[in-house]
A and B are shown apart, each in its own frame.
Chain A
């Protein structure tokens, strides 16, 4: 494997020797031909090559390395007529103004970078869902996990993201999805978890969710999929965005759940400032969130700041620096007192105790076009996180951890010929933890990967593999090889078929091996011998767009299967008198399923999208239903532009009742068996007061439906929020 990798690098290096040919930069802007407004997330490609870009929020694109001569440029965006134009590349920089004509289909075609490079979505052999900045705006998203709740096939419980049933109940540690911000890992070094509520929402250009194992490119963590957050690039003009919101939780649906006379509140705000000044661009943003919650002793305060500085010294080189700081200070509501007192924690909870989590991330990225066909990306980032229990200003030693995660990533992408692209790289991750509850631990993972994409007419074949070596002081070295294979076939302009097979794995988080902690009623004991869990994902799917029918629509359907090995589950140790919980490799599971998503315009002002995921999650170790998994997920949304300045939306989310949990939980959590199917209805209305000001009224869980997100935890009750945005 390593020999292969070295050979590929040598090949790329040889290819680089060809040095610079006569190349130019093609810049431009894509706009709506009628409104003249910029179109975000449009695709611009040079036909017959792999060169291309996706427009930013100003509709701008930059394609480097374009050979001199005549180039056929294709620009497209779902809902618009594709445009093909021949451009003469005769100088170092060429500007192209593209006007797309609306085809009355309000859809989005996007390019995803989840394969570590820009691609048209129909060229990707695996299901990728995309949440755009427009989606985030329309839903008034303040927490990114709220955005993921409305992606079909995904379940979010607290900060745990479950893609197509791959995750269950894991006490909040060990994410089975790799989460990245512009390529930088956002998983903490100790718990391997993610805090979605302190990420810079206003900076997010789009979120890409790869559904299926992605370890062949992303290594550990990508067992169930990859979530990539891509931030916005500043435009030439100063951009100021600010938002304030405030709202109230309405009455709890039952008298016995009332715990205060007045409604509890939530409020917050964001601000973002960004501009490009010649070769330098900057973006700074920050925000605060205050939530009194719908439950007693569950309030939280969160604050974050984000900054990105980009320097483009030449058309071939870009250097990007970023930093991110956040604080999450909250009471730690672990589970309810009982169903009858579902908004109260157990009577033994100290209301003065708070859990404080601080995170600091900083990183640097170099992007360099080495030759007319080869580009280099090198990234280094460090992610520091601490959490501690406090009562007032006094830190409690019983629950404290400080972790550092260093990430290094070097990637070469080379177009060896018009129809063959190779991507290869080396990565390293070093986690160091100092903790009262996890001890002092060092975990390192070194990796190499290579992937080739071969285009033959309308077929694209992708084959790749990655090797990861994990080292820990208490374990012998662990070696993981993760291959992948994918095939896409663009049958015609409307239909694209795909299939993929890939392996995923996840090295246990340090918390899963070394936790010695009391978490609510649970005593968790260490298990240094827990090993990586692995998966094989398979998928066959297709995407069909119709622009010619009276109701334009787009359908994406897939059949998928996940084979899961040595799943790490928190398990009660019955032989121990204290019945503690230990993370153990215990489960062999299989999840088979089907997913279908439909988007269409019923009328020029009314669009709908709906999705359905059916799954059969089986625990093959016990030949029973895999615990904590749904079998039916569904999501629907209707968007209605009532007047040019008034828009309304209605969303409905359904999850069937989880049929199996660990029955032993009932020994610790009263009414642990109290769980139902989830029916959540949200509604929103937006008024465009001026060109720059938009006012929104949002109703969440409009029907005040009572349900649990995880065992012994009531889901959010009905709330109403007023939001004012300025841009």
Chain B
């Protein structure tokens, strides 16, 4: 009888251990990424009248040195970006970037606009994440696993940041 109760207790303990903590697809996986807002100084009227082909927030693992590096980074999955074109000719918008394979580090996060038909070349940086305020010194964004980083961008079409290209 003592033996039976010992075995019974053992099975109960194992049942408790195995009943907890297994994979559960009904639990929404934690979002990892970058969220935030972009304000555009001067409102809709400040936007260029033409040459707006695309608008994204892009987080780079390496700062692009030539325009072609932008698309190359996206293809090599060394950059994360907003999945669709952001609204244009507005005074502000929000954005969200899901970062796969966290934790990841992005030393260069920008608002980028495609200003011509050549998507490999025609990109212009509208604002860069620079907590110091010095736009020539981009800030590093670290996205932890299951964590969200909030950023604010302020685009001033009359005062664009230094472009990264050599």
A contact set with B: CB distance below 8 Å: 253-254, 256-257, 339-340, 342, 574, 576-577, 579, 602-603, 606, 638, 640, 650, 652, 654, 663-667, 671-677, 679-681, 703, 705-708, 714
Contacts and interface: CB of A to CB of B under 8 A. Distances in A.
Contact of B104 (A342, A663, A672): A663
Nearest to B71: A577
Given A339-B23, A707-B23, A579 B77 contact: yes
Contact of B72 (A577, A603, A654, A679): A577
Interface in B89-112: 100-104
B19 to A, nearest CB: 6
B84 to A, nearest CB: 20
24 contacts: A256-B25, A577-B72, A577-B76, A579-B76, A606-B3, A640-B3, A650-B14, A654-B17, A663-B104, A665-B101, A666-B100, A673-B29, A673-B101, A676-B21, A679-B17, A679-B21, A681-B14, A681-B18, A703-B14, A705-B22, A706-B22, A706-B23, A708-B23, A714-B23
Contact of A638 (B10, B15, B75, B101): B10
Interface in B4-34: 7, 10-11, 14-15, 17-19, 21-26, 29
A671 B76 contact: no
A524 B104 CA distance: 24
A588 to B, nearest CB: 23
A582 to B, nearest CB: 14
A342 B25 contact: yes
Contacts of A708: 23
A253 B72 contact: no
A254 B26 contact: yes
A564 to B, nearest CB: 25
B78 interface: yes
A256 B23 CA distance: 13
Contact of A679 (B7, B14, B101, B145): B14
A667 B77 contact: yes
Contacts of B26: 254, 256
A139 to B, nearest CB: 17
Given A705-B18, A706-B24, A577 B104 contact: no
Contact of B10 (A650, A664, A667, A706): A650
A342 B23 CA distance: 10
Interface of B: 3, 7, 10-11, 14-15, 17-19, 21-26, 29, 72, 75-78, 100-104, 145
A667 B100 contact: yes
Contacts of A679: 14, 17-18, 21-22
Given A253-B22, A340-B25, A663-B101, 10 more contacts: A257-B25, A339-B23, A574-B78, A650-B7, A663-B104, A664-B101, A666-B100, A673-B29, A677-B21, A708-B23
A247 B77 CA distance: 44
A638 B7 contact: yes
A368 B11 CA distance: 53
A681 B145 CA distance: 31
A337 to B, nearest CB: 11
Nearest to A661: B101
A666 B101 contact: yes
A487 to B, nearest CB: 39
A339 B103 contact: no
Contacts of A640: 3, 7
A577 B23 contact: no
A548 B151 CA distance: 71
B1 to A, nearest CB: 12
A183 to B, nearest CB: 40
A714 B19 CA distance: 16
Contacts of B104: 663
Contacts of A579: 76-77
Contacts of B29: 339, 671, 673-674
B25 to A, nearest CB: 5
B16 to A, nearest CB: 10
Which residue of B3, B18, B76 has the most chain A CB atoms within 10 A of its CB atom? B18
Contacts of B3: 602-603, 606, 640
Contacts of A676: 21-23
A12 B166 CA distance: 73
Nearest to A672: B101
A553 B10 CA distance: 20
B22 A707 contact: yes
Which residue of A666, A681, A714 has the most chain B CB atoms within 10 A of its CB atom? A666
B22 to A, nearest CB: 4
Which residue of B25, B26, B75, B103 has the most chain A CB atoms within 10 A of its CB atom? B25
Contacts of B25: 254, 256-257, 339-340, 342
Nearest to B62: A574
A667 B75 CA distance: 12
Contacts of B17: 654, 679
3 closest cross-chain pairs (CB), A and B = A666-B101, A703-B18, A663-B101
Contacts of B100: 666-667
B10 A673 contact: no
Nearest to A573: B76
B15 A703 contact: yes
A635 to B, nearest CB: 13
A595 to B, nearest CB: 21
A118 to B, nearest CB: 38
Contacts of B15: 681, 703
B75 A577 contact: yes
Contacts of B103: 663
Contact of B102 (A603, A638, A654, A663): A663
A576 B11 contact: no
Which residue of A576, A606, A663, A665 has the most chain B CB atoms within 10 A of its CB atom? A663
A700 to B, nearest CB: 13
B39 to A, nearest CB: 32
Nearest to A342: B25
A723 to B, nearest CB: 22
A574 B23 contact: no
Nearest to B104: A663
A675 B24 CA distance: 10
A576 to B, nearest CB: 7
Contacts of A574: 76, 78
A650 B24 contact: no
Nearest to A605: B3
B8 to A, nearest CB: 11
Nearest to A640: B7
Contacts of B10: 638, 650
Contacts of B11: 650
Contacts of B76: 574, 576-577, 579
Contacts of A707: 22-23
B61 to A, nearest CB: 8
A706 B103 CA distance: 25
Given A342-B25, A638-B7, A650-B7, A673 B145 contact: yes
A674 B24 CA distance: 9
B129 to A, nearest CB: 22
